[in-house]
Structure 1
Amino acid sequence: MREFLVEITTTVPEGTAQDEVDRRRAAEAVRAGELAAAGHLVRLWRPVGEPRSVGVWRAADEEELHEKVLGTLPLRPWMTLRVTALEPHPNDPGRTGAAS
């Protein structure tokens, strides 16, 4: 599987009922857990003071990432995504077999 850095900004449409927002957020937490268990969601952060998330996600390719992974998130219709494909860096200290 390939890894992707995904920046997500979620904007709730004006006029959306709070119960709809709460329902989608609860469903989002459940779906994120399922995607983590399946190995698609690796890490997720929220930059301090910013209304966005930054995460490392895994998928076979960018098409799978968009259609079968991110596209299944309940908040996806309200999300703006920035996806960057990643590749291993030879100096990554977490890389298996990296030189000491």
Structure 2
Amino acid sequence: MKEFLVELTISVPEGTDQVEVDRRRAAEAVRAKELAAEGHLLRLWRPAGEPRVIGVWCADDKAELRQKVLGSLPMWPWATAVITALQSHPNDPGRTG
């Protein structure tokens, strides 16, 4: 699997009931744990006070990442994504071999 740096910005549509927002956020947390257990989500950060999250995700390719992985997130319909494919670096402390 390939690694991708993904910046997701969530924009809740105006007029959305807070109950729906809370329901999706709770479901998002559950789905993120499932994706981590499956090896698709490696790290996740949320900068304080910002409507975005930054994560390192894994998938076979960008299409699978968008459609099957990120597309399975409950907040995905409200998200915009910037996806950057990552390559290994010779000085990466996690590099093997």
Deviant stretches of 4+, over 4 Å = none
Distance in 2 separating the partners of 1:49 and 1:18: 18
Greater shift after overlay, 85-94 or 12-21? 85-94
- What does residue 24 of structure 1 align with? 24
Distance in 1 separating the partners of 2:60 and 2:52: 25
How far is 1:93 from its partner? 1.7
Counterpart secondary structure, 1:48:
coil
- What does residue 52 of structure 2 align with? 52
How far is 1:47 from its partner? 2.0
Identity level (%): 72
Tell me which structure has the larger Cα radius of gyration: 1
Residue 68 in 1 paired to residue 68 in 2? yes
CA RMSD in angstroms comes to 0.9
Distance in 2 separating the partners of 1:50 and 1:22: 17
Give ranges in structure 2 of 5+ residues lacking alignment.
none
Distance in 1 separating the partners of 2:76 and 2:93: 33
- Give the TM-score of the pair, scaled to structure 1: 0.93
How far is 1:96 from its partner? 1.6
- Give the TM-score of the pair, scaled to structure 2: 0.95
Distance in 1 separating the partners of 2:48 and 2:19: 26
Deviation readout 1:28-82 (Å, 9 max, x if unpaired): 0111011000000000011234221110000000010001100010000000100
Count, aligned residues: 97
How far is 1:91 from its partner? 1.1
- What does residue 88 of structure 1 align with? 88
Give ranges in structure 1 of 5+ residues lacking alignment.
none
